[in-house]
Amino acid sequence: MSVIRLLLREIQHRQLSFVLGVVTIVAAVALFVAILTMCDASQRETIRLMRNLGFNVLILPKGTNMADFWSEDFAEQEMPEEYVYRLAESDTISIRHLVARLQKKIRWRDRHVLLTGILPEVHMEQLPSKAPMGVAIPRGSVYVGFELAQSLSIGVGDTIELGDKPFVVGKCLGEKGSKDDIRIYGHLHDVQEVLNRPGRINEIEALSCQCEGKRLPQIRADIARALPGTQVTEYKSIAVARAEQRRMVESYAAFIIPVVVLVSAIWIGLLTLGNVRQRRVEIGILRAMGVGSGRIAALFLGKAVLIGVLGAALGFVLGTALAIRFGPQVFPLTANKITPMFNLLSWTVIGAPLLCALASYLPTLVAVSQDPAAVLREE
Amino acid sequence: MIELENVSKVYQGANGEVRALDDVSLSVEKGKFVAVRGPSGCGKSTLLLTVGAMVRPTEGRVLLDGEDVYGMSVSQRARLRAGKIGFVFQMFHLVPYLDALENVLVPTLAGARGGRPEALELLERLQLSHRLHHRPAELSTGERQRCALARALLNRPEIILADEPTGNLDPDNAAQVMQYLGNFHREGGTMLLVSHDPLADQYAQRVLRLDQGRVQ
């Protein structure tokens, strides 16, 4: 008779307790592996998104008072529309999306309205074309902001007049809760005609500025070289939001994994304690026969280690399968990079049995320190 | 040779002290069959466990072959039990998930003498050859006690300490178990038996009466 044989026989006899232990570790390890595999994918995805996002910069006429700009949402100064085409032809800067705009505040139907003319996106010639990020408003058509449409009872298909020119309402926009609700959007050239500002714009939005290794001062210098008479500012909010989102995912994983580990450890400890209680007489009789504390401890710690090894192996397979099955839906851009992280297998195969052994340590101490005579006398 | 010198054992109970053994002195020579009788709660089981190196007395000394049992370390006492002593209990205390043969082999975990051939031989002698691979739940009470007896005999002990070994058995099985214990004694073993069973008196060379922890 060996400790291993006794251990295996006991497992065979009390299968439920063993299965519960293994299931606990399988669940914990699967969650651990799935989260880490997905976190890895999440990081790659965020990096990709950040890379695609690049810098989002706003090019404004030189001399724009930024305080006024941020309060009014448009620049008083103007610059030639030709700038946007010049930028598109630039070979020093790569910008995925260039959107030229002319915006002015006007009085229309006894209220202040932000009239915004948008030129359909201009793509840089040397870059592959990508789906447009902005809107492309057809000529002769306008989109009306929520507040205006509501208060003036304007509906899709209505004809409205702007500077004596008729326009068909192509869309009534949803509520944004910002100045967009009092905007009327039109094609840049239509708005230029309405405002009598032909060939003029007052901002260029450059999205996804691909400036490898370059920071904002360098981009400013490049743009200033291409477009003298402009100034550049960066939209930071989107990039910051991405970084915060990534940090949030990481901190979520950093919170959830220790909780899962702790709960599993407590559960394994309780299962072992239950097992010790169940086997009091058996321990007593083994002690009566002269079986030492080391072998008694080996019976419980060995079982815990076995639960850990089996749970880790099965949990790794399950966690990896879950990540591979569902990961691509969550992270479509880097789906093909979601692959088994085999380095986690060695961590879990070492970590899970260690965790189980530690969790079973106190119950094992209870087992070896119980007075066999007291148990046998009671019986 | 078993010797007890002024042995007392006091338990701290919820309602105060319980004196299970009170200044007990006795000696059992090698190869003797001694029965201990007495009412329930008189300290019989404590006496047996004290002799069996399982319960440290509050006072006094227990000597086995001249060696002070409780002067030994815990592991030395464990080795002593594994090498010299066999226990038989009223409730058998077989390991429920092992079959009869495996139960008999359990003492080998403690490094006891004897192995599978000896276990098979013992089970045959105790008429359990047909039950080798039956678990305790599949054995009758008599078979369980014979299995427990085989387990106690595997390490070829010098002493068997038996606590009410026939207490749960019908007369036929009780007689059979007593016969096996008698055989052990006839082969030179020392027998210390705690029992209410009058049958024990037929085998015992000496009967001790214990009352309120004292040998009468």
Q: Which residue of B has its CA nearest to A279?
A: B95
Say whether A288 and B52 touch across the interface (CB within 8 A). yes
Q: Are B87 and B52 in contact (CB under 8 A)?
A: yes
Q: Chain B residue with minimal CA distance to A13?
A: B97
Q: Note whether A13 contacts B82, CB cutoff 8 Å.
A: no
Which pLDDT belongs to residue A238?
A: 56
Check B81 against A288: CB less than 8 A apart: yes
Q: Are residues A198 and A275 in the same domain?
A: no
Work out the average pLDDT over B111-132: 87
Are A193 and A131 in the same domain? yes
The end-to-end CA distance of chain A, in Å, is 25
Name the pLDDT band for B119 (thresholds 50, 70, 90): very high
Instruction: Give the integer Cα–Cα distance in Å for B48 and B62.
Output: 11
Minimal CA separation from A309 to chain B, in Å? 23
Does the beta-carbon distance from B98 to A6 stay under 8 Å?
yes
Nearest CA in chain A to B45: A377
Distance between A21 CA and the closest CA of chain B, angstroms:
19
Q: Please tell me the number of Cα atoms within 13 Å of A227 on its side-chain side.
A: 26
How far A7 CA sits from the closest chain B CA (Å)?
A: 10
Q: Which of residues 122-151 of B touch A (CB under 8 A)?
A: 151
8 A C-beta contact, residue A121 and residue A98? yes
B102 to A290: CB separation less than 8 angstroms, yes or no: no
- Quote the minimal CA–CA distance from A346 to chain B in Å: 33
* Residue B179 to residues A298, B122, B183, B203, Cα–Cα distance (Å): 38, 14, 6, 8
Residues of A with CB below 8 A from B51's CB?
none
Q: Are strands A111-118 and A183-187 parallel, antiparallel or unpaired?
A: parallel
Topology adopted by domain B29-57+74-215: Rossmann fold (3.40.50)
User: In this predicted structure, which of A217-221, B45-49, B89-93, B136-140 has the lowest mean pLDDT?
Assistant: A217-221
CB contact under 8 A, B109 and A287: no
Range of the domain at A19: 3-49+243-378
Contact check, Cβ <8 Å, A376/B109: no
pLDDT at B91: 82
Task: Give A280 to chain B, closest Cα distance, Å.
Answer: 11
Give the nearest partner residue to A1 out of B52, B79, B102, using CB atoms. B102
pLDDT, mean of residues B205-214: 87
- The answer to the question of residue A230 being in a domain is no
A202 and A59 both lie in a single domain? yes
Residue A232 included in any domain: no
A351, burial (CB in 10 Å: exposed 0-12, middle 13-18, buried 19+): middle
Q: Is the CB of A376 less than 8 angstroms away from the CB of B97?
A: no
Interface TM-score (ipTM) > 0.85 = no
Distance, C-alpha B73 to centroid of its chain: 21
Is A205 in the same domain as A280? no
Alpha-carbon gap: B29 to the closest alpha carbon of chain A (Å): 22
Chain B positions in Cβ-Cβ contact with residue A3 (cut-off 8 Å): 109
B152 in Cβ contact with B184 (< 8 Å)? no
pLDDT for A133 equals: 45
- At B35 the pLDDT is 92
**Are A286 and B108 a contacting pair at CB < 8 A?**
no
Average confidence (pLDDT) per 10 residues, chain A, 379 residues: 89 90 91 83 64 68 87 88 85 72 91 91 56 70 93 93 92 87 94 93 76 62 82 67 66 80 88 86 85 88 93 94 84 73 89 90 85 71
Same domain for A205 and A81, yes or no, is: yes
Cα(first)–Cα(last) distance of chain B, in Å? 21
What pLDDT is stored for residue A212 in this prediction? 46
Same domain, A251 and A160: no
What mean pLDDT is reported for chain B?
88
Please choose, from the candidates B65, B80, B163, the residue with its C-alpha nearest in 3D space to the C-alpha of residue A290.
Answer: B80
| pLDDT given at position A132 | 44
Q: Sorting pLDDT into bands at 50, 70 and 90, what band is B50?
A: very high
Residue A288 shares a structural domain with residue A355: yes
* Chain A residues within an 8 Å CB radius of B52: 288
**In the predicted model, what is the mean pLDDT of residues B77-97?**
87
Is the CB of residue B108 less than 8 Å away from at least one CB of chain A?
Answer: yes
Of B78, B79, B109, the CB nearest to A1: B109
* CB contacts, 8 Å: A5 with chain B: 102
Instruction: Please tell me the distance from the alpha carbon of residue A102 to that of residue A115, in angstroms, as a whole number.
Output: 8
* Same domain assignment for residues A128 and A145: yes
Cβ under 8 Å to A: B residues 149-208: 151
B72 in contact with chain A, both atoms CB, cutoff 8 A? no
Check whether residue A71 and residue A38 sit in a common domain: no
Same structural domain, A88 and A19: no
Tens-digit pLDDT profile for residues B149-199: 999 888 889 999 998 888 888 888 888 888 888 989 999 999 999 988 888
What are the chain B neighbours of A286 within 8 Å (beta carbons)? 106, 109-110
How many folded domains does chain A comprise?
Answer: 2
Residues A189 and A137 in one domain: yes
Q: How far is A39 from chain B (nearest CA, A)?
A: 45
Q: Quick check: B46 contacting A, CB < 8 Å?
A: yes
**B95 at the A interface (CB within 8 A)?**
yes
